[in-house]
A and B are shown apart, each in its own frame.
Chain A
Amino acid sequence: MKSRCSNEMIMMMTIVHPLTRFVLTIVGIALCALLMLFLLSIYKGVSKGSVSYVRESGADLWVVQRHSTNILRSSSLIPLSIKPILQKVDGIKSVSPVIFILSSVITAKGPATMYLTGYDIKTGIGGPPAIVAGNRVANDNEIVLDHSFAAKYNINPGDNLIIKDDTLKVAGLSSGTNMFVVQYAFISLQKAFEIAGYPFLVSCFQLRLCPGTHPAGIIDVLQDKIDGISVFDQQTFLTNNTHEMESGILPLLYMVAFIGAVVLAALLSLILSMHVLEHRNEYAVMKALGAPKGFLPALIIKQAMVLSLCGMLTAAVFIFPLLVMVEKISPEVAGQSSFLHVILVLAGTGFICLVSSVVPIGKLRKIYPLDVFK
Chain B
Amino acid sequence: MINNNINMGIVAMHRISKIYERQGKGTAALNQISFEASTGELVLLLGPSGSGKTTFLTILAGFQKPSSGQVSLFGKNIMDYPSQELQYLRARHMGFIFQTFNLMEGLNVKENIMLVTRFAREGRNQASKRADYLLNKFEIDPLRSSYPNTLSQGEKQRVAVVRALVNDAELIIADEPTGSLSALQGDQIVAFLKECVDKERRTVIMVSHDERIKHFADRTFYLRDGSMELI
Query: Which A residues fall within an 8 A CB radius of B?
Result: 2-6, 9-10, 13-14, 17, 281-282, 285-293, 295, 368-370, 372-374
* CB <8 Å contact, B63 and A289: no
Set of chain A residues within 8 Å of B111, measured between Cβ atoms: 3, 5, 9, 13
Q: Of all chain A residues, which has the CB nearest B131?
A: A3
Report the Cα distance A374→B99, complex, angstroms: 10
Q: In whole Å, how far is A2's beta carbon from the nearest beta carbon of chain B?
A: 7
Taking residues whose C-beta sits less than 8 angstroms from the other chain, chain B's interface range is: 35 or more
* CB <8 Å contact, B54 and A373: yes
Cβ 8 A contact of A373, one of B84, B104, B145, B175: B175
Q: What string of 1s and 0s marks CB contacts (under 8 Å) between B48-81 and chain A?
A: 0000001001100001100000000000000000
* CB <8 Å contact, A290 and B120: yes
Report the Cα distance A285→B145, complex, angstroms: 21
Q: Does B90 contact A (CB under 8 A)?
A: yes
Cβ 8 A contact of B145, one of A2, A9, A290: A2
Q: In whole Å, how far is A20's beta carbon from the nearest beta carbon of chain B?
A: 16
Set of chain B residues within 8 Å of A281, measured between Cβ atoms: 102
* CB <8 Å contact, B131 and A290: no
Report the Cα distance A345→B63, complex, angstroms: 43
Q: In whole Å, how far is A39's beta carbon from the nearest beta carbon of chain B?
A: 37
Report the Cα distance A73→B31, complex, angstroms: 85
Q: Does B98 contact A (CB under 8 A)?
A: yes
Q: Of all chain A residues, which has the CB nearest B110?
A: A3
Q: Does B128 contact A (CB under 8 A)?
A: yes
Q: Does B124 contact A (CB under 8 A)?
A: yes
Interface residues of B in 129-170 (CB under 8 A from A): 131, 144-145, 163
Q: Of all chain A residues, which has the CB nearest B89?
A: A290
Q: What string of 1s and 0s marks CB contacts (under 8 Å) between B177-214 and chain A?
A: 00000000000000000000000000000000000000
Cβ 8 A contact of A292, one of B58, B88, B98, B144: B88
Report the Cα distance A42→B182, complex, angstroms: 67
Q: In whole Å, how far is A371's beta carbon from the nearest beta carbon of chain B?
A: 9
* CB <8 Å contact, A5 and B118: yes
Query: Which B residues fall within an 8 A CB radius of A?
Result: 54, 57-58, 63-64, 83-84, 87-92, 94, 96, 98, 102, 104-107, 110-111, 114-120, 124, 128, 131, 144-145, 163, 175
Set of chain A residues within 8 Å of B106, measured between Cβ atoms: 10, 13-14, 17
Report the Cα distance A5→B83, complex, angstroms: 24
- Interchain Cβ contacts under 8 Å between A and B, 18 examples: A2-B145, A3-B128, A3-B144, A5-B114, A6-B118, A10-B104, A13-B104, A13-B111, A285-B98, A288-B90, A288-B102, A289-B90, A289-B116, A291-B87, A291-B119, A293-B83, A293-B84, A373-B57
* CB <8 Å contact, A288 and B92: no
* CB <8 Å contact, A288 and B63: yes
Set of chain A residues within 8 Å of B114, measured between Cβ atoms: 3-5
- Decide: A4 near B119, CB < 8 A? Known: A285-B102, A289-B96: no
Q: In whole Å, how far is B28's beta carbon from the nearest beta carbon of chain A?
A: 18
* CB <8 Å contact, A370 and B63: yes
Set of chain B residues within 8 Å of A290, measured between Cβ atoms: 87-92, 94, 116, 119-120
Q: In whole Å, how far is B54's beta carbon from the nearest beta carbon of chain A?
A: 5
- Decide: A293 near B102, CB < 8 A? Known: A4-B124, A10-B107: no
Cβ 8 A contact of B119, one of A13, A289, A370: A289
Report the Cα distance A368→B54, complex, angstroms: 15
* CB <8 Å contact, A372 and B110: no
Set of chain B residues within 8 Å of A292, measured between Cβ atoms: 84, 87-88, 91, 119
Report the Cα distance A9→B106, complex, angstroms: 10
Set of chain A residues within 8 Å of B87, measured between Cβ atoms: 287, 290-293
Set of chain A residues within 8 Å of B92, measured between Cβ atoms: 290
Set of chain B residues within 8 Å of A295, measured between Cβ atoms: 119
Report the Cα distance A369→B104, complex, angstroms: 15
Q: In whole Å, how far is A366's beta carbon from the nearest beta carbon of chain B?
A: 15
Which of B57, B83, B94, B115 counts the most chain A CB atoms within 10 A?
B115
Q: Of all chain B residues, which has the CB nearest A288?
A: B96
Set of chain A residues within 8 Å of B107, measured between Cβ atoms: 5, 9-10, 13
Report the Cα distance A292→B119, complex, angstroms: 6
Q: Of all chain A residues, which has the CB nearest B128?
A: A3
Which of A17, A289, A369 counts the most chain B CB atoms within 10 A?
A289
* CB <8 Å contact, A286 and B175: no
7 additional A-B residue pairs with CB within 8 Å, beyond A5-B107, A289-B115? A3-B114, A4-B114, A14-B106, A17-B106, A372-B102, A373-B58, A374-B54
* CB <8 Å contact, A10 and B98: no
* CB <8 Å contact, A285 and B104: yes
Q: Of all chain B residues, which has the CB nearest A294?
A: B84
Set of chain A residues within 8 Å of B58, measured between Cβ atoms: 370, 373
Report the Cα distance A2→B107, complex, angstroms: 11
* CB <8 Å contact, A2 and B119: no
Q: In whole Å, how far is A296's beta carbon from the nearest beta carbon of chain B?
A: 11
Report the Cα distance A369→B105, complex, angstroms: 18
Cβ 8 A contact of B63, one of A282, A291, A293, A373: A373
Report the Cα distance A292→B122, complex, angstroms: 13
Q: Of all chain A residues, which has the CB nearest B92?
A: A290
